[in-house]
Structure 1
Amino acid sequence: MADTLVIVESPTKAKTIGKYLGSKYIVKASIGHVRDLPKSQMGVDVTHNFEPKYITIRGKGDVLKGLKDAAKKVKKVYLAADPDREGEAIAWHLAQYLGLDMNQPLRVVFNEITKDAIKEAFKHPRHINMDLVNAQQARRILDRLVGYNISPILWKKVRKGLSAGRVQSVAVKLIMDREREIQEFIPEEYWTIASTLISDGKEINAKFYGYGDEKVELHSEDDVAAVLKRMKNKPYVVQKVTKRERKRNPAPPFITSSLQQEAARKLNFRTSKTMRIAQELYEGIDVGNKEGAVGLITYMRTDSTRLSVTAQNEAKEYILEKYGPDYVLSEPRNQAKNENAQDAHEAIRPTGVMRTPDEIKEYLSRDQLRLYRLIWERFLASQMSSAVLDTMSVDIDAGGVTFRATGSKVKFPGFMKVYIEGNDDGTEEESFLPPIEEGQILDQKEIEPSQHFTQPPPRFSEARMLKSMEEMGIGRPSTYAPTLETIQKRGYVALEEKRFVPTELGEIVITLVEEFFPEILNVEFTAHMESGLDNIEAGNTNWVQVLDDFYQDFAKRVVVAEEEMKEVELKVEESDETCELCGSVMVYKLGRFGKFLACSGFPDCRNTKPIVKEIGVKCPQCETGEIIERKSKKSRIFYGCNQYPECDFVSWDKPIARPCPKCSSMLVEKKRKKQGVSIICTKCDYQEEADS
């Protein structure tokens, strides 16, 4: 008969753990947090040491009653929520509600949900760590103080329903500042000269470097003319050939932020999707009769690249068997530690490297498999030997004008056999050059001067945003996903072509916050507050003191803002369309997924519709409608007939306004990652390059 109750957060986790613990244990789920600050009021007594007023979260009454009834029937209760601040706070709230003796070791923590890890964890229960609890409380109260003081002012001065948050406001400010940089950017002209040379029948792509050993930049067409004049009719002579052997090390195993960034780059996952799927992999997936439900990865909220010796040895064994001794590390690789890292948990890794993606793919959904494969390959590669590249740099002289060609090739793949880290600009290794000797004369195939203009900094993608927030110490990895979701839901930023742009509303709100609460938008101040929370967790700082230091000045600013902030009227941009439901003018609005049309009669009329973008092509199916650009629910662009639903023509590829010269069927632009854009026929095998 069961005599011990174990409480975790989720039913999936409860099911997986229950299988390992056996019949003497009852495992139940709290379904996340059970108590929180009330939504209807501040819920913090600022005059009495910021004492929080916790209430039962709506809908959790029956859950708590069931846990209390179960606790009465057993001799012992263990609290096994996730091993972080949030998990510690959940355990503390449960202990308080259930009336458990806090002097007893009630808390059980584990970094992975596997049989050995669970059994070992239950051998070593500990007391609830109040430093962790207080760090979570301080963050929650701090955010409440900011949000519930600034938001009502914004409701009065701008519009109801607005909010301002400590981290979200800084995130919007980053996006807004980047947009200003782009708008104020003044392009500068520059030129390049590319020369295609021939050595033993093989092409070499060389670029203008300068005069002799001096690097020279070309700013105008006159500069280019001077170069061409100097090298006219002069032979291309190889002056210097430099060969080097270069080692390339693998990326470290994932931490929360790097997983979010790489999943955005390689899998096109939104941050929230990455964390949801990672949670599923952590809590347990049924992988068949051999193992049943098992946690496939370690805890996914971590800022440490540290790995256990057991994991390293298991990886070494697998690499030796699969790839051979040359791919095995001679000694463990020491990963650089981020100075801001709490280092509470291991890196994100598979709980068993022998559980390969291919072996368990039939038990995973498509997205679960893709994310698991990413984590598995990244971990394995981090434990493999370095890659060795042969690099070559060639300086070529033509009448005192220097051209330079560079290239590389893989001499030994090492970790690259398994995984190569992605990047934001999509650049790849250059190709290797053919054999070249000093003094060799090369033939010229062509020379091509090109005019360019410097480009403004790019808008933030999710991956770039995450990286910037991490580098600046804004928030913590576990807060990134909800922060980016919130600023879109509030209408402060929108996604256009997978890049963040600030809305007019976002710019108004941030401008007001910046004027009256400058410290909230100060990156250094925000990073300092995060360090303060970390110090609370480490037991080095009193949480009440951290809040008091912030609130004393902040409260004075609230009073000034209430008196001096002026009301702002949001501009309405009218369109030339009328609402088909009520006849009012349709106006442009900017939501989380970009611009759309909405009825100006809102809230009496709530009609909305997408902005139609015609591409100048007649529908090939009904021959009367026009093809328009549309967006799917996942914001993927496709093309359809404007007579829908009468005509159901759709195409993922962009139709063009001329028929196939071979069969007169529709031509479309086909985008391929490596080949670029081609024009193909939808019926026959006709194909041409897009720029022909």
Structure 2
Amino acid sequence: GEKWARLGIDVDNDFKPLYVVSSDKKEQIKKLKALMKDADTLYLATDKDREGEAIAWHLLEVLSPPGNVEVHRMVFTEITEKAIHAALNDPRELDRKMVDAQEARRMLDRLYGYEISPVLWKKVMPRLSAGRVQSVATRIVVQRERERMAFKAASYWDLEGKFALTRDAAEGEPPDFKAKLLEVDGNRIAQGRDFEQDGSLKGDVIVIDQARAESLVAELTDQPSEVKSVESKPFRRRPAAPFITSTLQQEASRKLNLSSSMAMRAAQALYEKGLITYMRTDSTTLSADALDAARKVITEKYGKEFCPPEARTYNKKTKGAQEAHEAIRPAGAEFASPETVAKECVKSEAQVYELIWQRTIASQMTDATGETVQVRVGVTSTAGTATTFSASGTVITHQGFRKVYIDGDSDDDETGTAALPQVAQGDDLNASELEASGHETQPPSRYTEASLVKKLEELGVGRPSTYAATMGTIEDRGYVWKKGSALVPSFTAFSVINLLEAHFPDLVDYDFTAQMEVDLDGIAEGTGEAIPWLRKFYFGDDNDDGLKEKVDKRLGEIDAAAVNSIPLGVDANGQMVVGRVGRYGPYVQRGDGQPDLDGKPNRASVPDDIPLDELTIGKAIEFIEAPSGDRELGDDPISGKVVLVKNGRFGPYVQLGEIDDDPDGKPKRASIFKSMDPAEVDLETALKLLELPRTIGTHPEDGTEIKVHNGKFGPYLTKESAEEGKKAETRNVPTEEALLTITMDECLVLLKEPKRRGRAEPKPPLKEMGIDPFSGMAMVIKDGRFGPYITDGVANASLQKADTIEEISDERASELLMARRQRAGTLYMEDGVEKWDPPAKKSRKKAPAKKKAAAKKKAPAKKKAPAKKAAAKKSATG
């Protein structure tokens, strides 16, 4: 009954948190306490980061070991025999500063979410959430979409030609090479990089249009040409540093097409199997054992020429990095080969291990070296126009680390282009096969999970342990959806960010959020205190209002219509057209949204999967002037709720009431029959549809209830069993329309007929696909109750918004199935073969026990643990 109970934090009593043991963990706690009765020592061996330290403290609080039990904190970054023995021989005390920092972080996030989320419910839509990191991540994605919406494409043309030697080519020498037009009469021609986002030119360049480009082709073809210059530069590239959490997620996305969460699940499994070191780290450091192991692999597998004289060290640290763990690398003093791991682990784990192995080995190899040559060719047209063409090529003479691994950020041009022929200044060439091509500048690319993680890392927002969860949260909350691998912000995301930017700007300010991370790091390091810091954030000080007062003051100032509006432009009559988020989903509106004098509507629903940068003013007006989507049919005479006809992703349906009328946000809905025209459905018909499933009455012989339903396999009826525990009888109903008119007599006739095997003939697949590499079974796309889905006969996965039946590839289908398997069930190896156990059916959970406040923090040990040894300082050089 306390006013702070909803927060779970007593903000008036030094931010004392309320901790409750989960009901499903009580049995495990009971087992641990029983085991501790016969023990004289308790080792807390949770992960070596803030979360791990906090978990260790919570275990200590819950287990409450008696005074005769010694308590030790042991830490390790790999689950190997050597590492475990070392941790046992050198335990330490629980680090209370780290515990305080993690507790402060959790309370901060809870206060943020529990105060701001209700504002979103009132002003945008129910059941939305806000968060310290998720809201900043959402803002980054929204800001990129705004840039795309403001972008104006520019057109430009260029030329490419083939230039042939006038002499015989030497053995192995190419007789010709391709070059692109660089200058016309001494003026550089524009390329994509020369245009601003609004389509204007940046510098002193000229734009070639189609007519000029085609005339140049005619004037230059077969004209004599001459080499104006040859410039040669040495090429050298260093290997990338070993993986940290964020770079692993980025590369797993680029190279393996794994989401952040999938990559981290695979890494977690590898860590638990003792195959890699701890996977949540900011450090690029490798231990002496790891350096020796890597150099041994390089020498034995690739040769001494690929192993530098000295081990490489990396000192790159991310902004605000925390504990100096090792980089993510293969575990142990000898690295397991990727081939060995592939026999023990499922495919995704084996792929992630190979990536980690390659990156670790490559980080200790020699530089890639070679030569980059640039050739300038002069050609004078038949009209006397002087033109310059340019060609360049890089030849790798020593592959170095590239023999093992190429970073996803590397320039594709550096993979070793074909060598240019040996030419010198003044050499004659012949210009031939000239071709003009037109181009348009492209808007800035949307973020992917990989690039968004990289951006958050650059800004110092979030930490390794939070990146994967943040990606999952913004997608689960409906703030972004994926178009391929690109993250597309929803209308709702725009509304939420509009509100936060306008009324709580500091909460989505990049520097402010990064500073909070720095402050939390300070608490962990002992330079800051948690309670005063939380008090200032929540209650404020003389210089600034705290979160609570900001919410109290600003809630009434928020104009819901304004924050839910996305300006799209002005129509021919000067009326503003906006996109908006409404209680029934996104829509577009012209002017005030009221119908014209002739009754024509000025608002229309839009698909929830249309990207905002594609919703131009022209497209919006098309939606408005098209036949209406959502229609209000009138009010239900019983409940008084409005009845609507809506068009959803899976077809037209009727809905009773508004989303926020229902406590669960799930108003009653019913699909419109396939034979019905949604435009002709009236209130009477809609109410009949909403009555389904409809009770027909009781069976005259045994008094059991008979109902008719519209199910995923078509219309059917059910008759309850007269015997307790037995399933109801079912029969097909001939048509959907019959559901609205069928009588008891007609139901009795159907029940007398023999039951068919299944309620309906199985639908043929929508599309037959290839073989799933995981299961070895054929994949097909089927039409399900909730839309099309891919299946191999065991695992099922819905197609995503950006997936179309016509264009989906076998690789994408396999990816969706694997993602589904990893979300539920168990992947494992048996006799070298990957297998999957579907998830067991969940039993109904009991009501949680009544909450009890946790005791005040205790000292971390009953008996003094061994003194913590001073760690040797490490230095790193690039």
Of the structure 1 ranges 124-133 and 42-51, higher mean CA displacement relative to structure 2 is found in: 42-51
Post-superposition CA distance 1:322-377 (Å, at most 9, x none): 22210111112232412522352000000144410112321111111111111111
Please give the alpha-carbon distance, in whole angstroms, between the structure 2 residues aligned to 1:81 and 1:630: 45
Q: Is the 8 A contact 1:574 1:587 kept in 2?
A: no
Q: Is the 8 A contact 2:214 2:436 kept in 1?
A: no
Aligned in 2, Cα 1:527/1:650: closer, same or farther, shift over 3 Å? Answer: closer
Please give the alpha-carbon distance, in whole angstroms, between the structure 1 residues aligned to 2:116 and 2:521: 25
Q: Is the 8 A contact 2:141 2:447 kept in 1?
A: yes
Aligned in 2, Cα 1:322/1:110: closer, same or farther, shift over 3 Å? Answer: same
Please give the alpha-carbon distance, in whole angstroms, between the structure 2 residues aligned to 1:223 and 1:401: 13
In structure 1, the partner of 2:224 is 235
In structure 2, the partner of 1:560 is 553
Please give the alpha-carbon distance, in whole angstroms, between the structure 1 residues aligned to 2:516 and 2:784: 55
In structure 2, the partner of 1:661 is none
Please give the alpha-carbon distance, in whole angstroms, between the structure 1 residues aligned to 2:445 and 2:479: 19
Aligned in 2, Cα 1:81/1:44: closer, same or farther, shift over 3 Å? Answer: same
Please give the alpha-carbon distance, in whole angstroms, between the structure 1 residues aligned to 2:36 and 2:130: 41
Please give the alpha-carbon distance, in whole angstroms, between the structure 1 residues aligned to 2:552 and 2:789: 58
Question: Which of the residues 11, 20, 26 maps onto 1:61?
Answer: 26
Aligned in 2, Cα 1:631/1:354: closer, same or farther, shift over 3 Å? Answer: closer
In structure 2, the partner of 1:528 is 515
Post-superposition CA distance 1:76-126 (Å, at most 9, x none): 101000111000000011112222489966210001000000001100110
In structure 1, the partner of 2:287 is 308
Q: What one-letter code is carried by the residue in structure 2 that aligns with 1:327?
A: F
Question: Which of the residues 324, 334, 337 maps onto 2:316?
Answer: 337
Aligned in 2, Cα 1:478/1:541: closer, same or farther, shift over 3 Å? Answer: same
In structure 2, the partner of 1:687 is none
Question: Which of the residues 208, 231, 256 maps onto 1:220?
Answer: 208
In structure 1, the partner of 2:647 is 587
Aligned in 2, Cα 1:329/1:463: closer, same or farther, shift over 3 Å? Answer: same
Give secondary structure in 1 for the equivalent of 2:397: strand
Gaps of 5+ in 2: 191-205, 381-385, 562-581, 586-604, 608-627, 637-642, 657-665, 674-762, 774-778, 793-805, 812-878
In structure 1, the partner of 2:57 is 92
Post-superposition CA distance 1:522-571 (Å, at most 9, x none): 11111111111111112211122322232212222110233223455435
Gaps of 5+ in 1: 1-37, 285-294, 590-594, 610-623, 652-667, 674-692
Is 1:605 the counterpart of 2:593 in the alignment?
no
Give secondary structure in 2 for the equivalent of 1:166: coil
Question: Which of the residues 478, 482, 490 maps onto 2:477?
Answer: 490
Is 1:412 the counterpart of 2:398 in the alignment?
yes
Question: Which of the residues 497, 502, 505 maps onto 1:510?
Answer: 497
Aligned in 2, Cα 1:407/1:41: closer, same or farther, shift over 3 Å? Answer: same
Please give the alpha-carbon distance, in whole angstroms, between the structure 1 residues aligned to 2:294 and 2:764: 59
Please give the alpha-carbon distance, in whole angstroms, between the structure 2 residues aligned to 1:560 and 1:629: 58
Is 1:114 the counterpart of 2:80 in the alignment?
yes
In structure 2, the partner of 1:459 is 446
Q: Is the 8 A contact 1:587 1:600 kept in 2?
A: no
Is 1:396 the counterpart of 2:377 in the alignment?
yes
Aligned in 2, Cα 1:648/1:190: closer, same or farther, shift over 3 Å? Answer: closer
In structure 1, the partner of 2:93 is 127
Q: Is the 8 A contact 2:240 2:363 kept in 1?
A: yes
Post-superposition CA distance 1:2-50 (Å, at most 9, x none): xxxxxxxxxxxxxxxxxxxxxxxxxxxxxxxxxxxx9972011222222
Please give the alpha-carbon distance, in whole angstroms, between the structure 1 residues aligned to 2:472 and 2:359: 27
Q: Is the 8 A contact 1:105 1:126 kept in 2?
A: no
In structure 1, the partner of 2:360 is 379
Deviation at 1:456, TM superposition (A): 0.4
Q: What one-letter code is carried by the residue in structure 2 that aligns with 1:135?
A: A
Q: Is the 8 A contact 2:461 2:510 kept in 1?
A: yes
Counting aligned pairs with the same residue, the percent is: 38
Q: Is the 8 A contact 1:255 1:304 kept in 2?
A: yes
Of the structure 1 ranges 52-61 and 563-572, higher mean CA displacement relative to structure 2 is found in: 563-572
Aligned in 2, Cα 1:431/1:608: closer, same or farther, shift over 3 Å? Answer: farther
Q: What one-letter code is carried by the residue in structure 1 that aligns with 2:343?
A: E
Please give the alpha-carbon distance, in whole angstroms, between the structure 2 residues aligned to 1:149 and 1:630: 48
Deviation at 1:639, TM superposition (A): 8.2
Give secondary structure in 2 for the equivalent of 1:407: strand
Aligned in 2, Cα 1:159/1:232: closer, same or farther, shift over 3 Å? Answer: closer
Of the structure 1 ranges 595-604 and 534-543, higher mean CA displacement relative to structure 2 is found in: 595-604
In structure 2, the partner of 1:346 is 326
In structure 1, the partner of 2:680 is none
Give secondary structure in 2 for the equivalent of 1:135: helix
Question: Which of the residues 273, 276, 279 maps onto 2:262?
Answer: 273
Please give the alpha-carbon distance, in whole angstroms, between the structure 2 residues aligned to 1:358 and 1:86: 33
Post-superposition CA distance 1:413-465 (Å, at most 9, x none): 11111111124996663332222232221122211222212110011111111
Q: TM-score, normalised by structure 2?
A: 0.61
Question: Which of the residues 191, 203, 206 maps onto 2:179?
Answer: 206
Give secondary structure in 2 for the equivalent of 1:448: strand
In structure 1, the partner of 2:347 is 366
In the TM superposition, 1:33-48 aligns within 5 A as 41-48=6-13
Please give the alpha-carbon distance, in whole angstroms, between the structure 1 residues aligned to 2:6 and 2:56: 25
Q: What one-letter code is carried by the residue in structure 2 that aligns with 1:344?
A: A
Deviation at 1:630, TM superposition (A): 11
Please give the alpha-carbon distance, in whole angstroms, between the structure 2 residues aligned to 1:521 and 1:298: 34
Aligned in 2, Cα 1:193/1:91: closer, same or farther, shift over 3 Å? Answer: same
Aligned length: 585
Q: Is the 8 A contact 1:255 1:302 kept in 2?
A: yes
Of the structure 1 ranges 242-251 and 212-221, higher mean CA displacement relative to structure 2 is found in: 212-221
Question: Which of the residues 122, 141, 144 maps onto 1:175?
Answer: 141
The structure showing larger relative contact order (alpha-carbon pairs under 8 Å, at least 6 residues apart) is 2
Q: What one-letter code is carried by the residue in structure 1 that aligns with 2:667?
A: P
Q: What one-letter code is carried by the residue in structure 2 that aligns with 1:532?
A: D
Of the structure 1 ranges 329-338 and 160-169, higher mean CA displacement relative to structure 2 is found in: 329-338
Q: Is the 8 A contact 2:180 2:391 kept in 1?
A: yes
Please give the alpha-carbon distance, in whole angstroms, between the structure 2 residues aligned to 1:256 and 1:320: 28
Please give the alpha-carbon distance, in whole angstroms, between the structure 1 residues aligned to 2:236 and 2:790: 53
Aligned in 2, Cα 1:184/1:669: closer, same or farther, shift over 3 Å? Answer: closer
Post-superposition CA distance 1:567-600 (Å, at most 9, x none): 5543542788999xx99734346xxxxx987753
Q: What one-letter code is carried by the residue in structure 1 that aligns with 2:180?
A: K
Q: TM-score, normalised by structure 1?
A: 0.77
Question: Which of the residues 262, 267, 283 maps onto 2:272?
Answer: 283
Q: What one-letter code is carried by the residue in structure 1 that aligns with 2:317?
A: N
Please give the alpha-carbon distance, in whole angstroms, between the structure 2 residues aligned to 1:587 and 1:255: 46
Please give the alpha-carbon distance, in whole angstroms, between the structure 2 residues aligned to 1:299 and 1:650: 35
Q: What one-letter code is carried by the residue in structure 2 that aligns with 1:491?
A: G
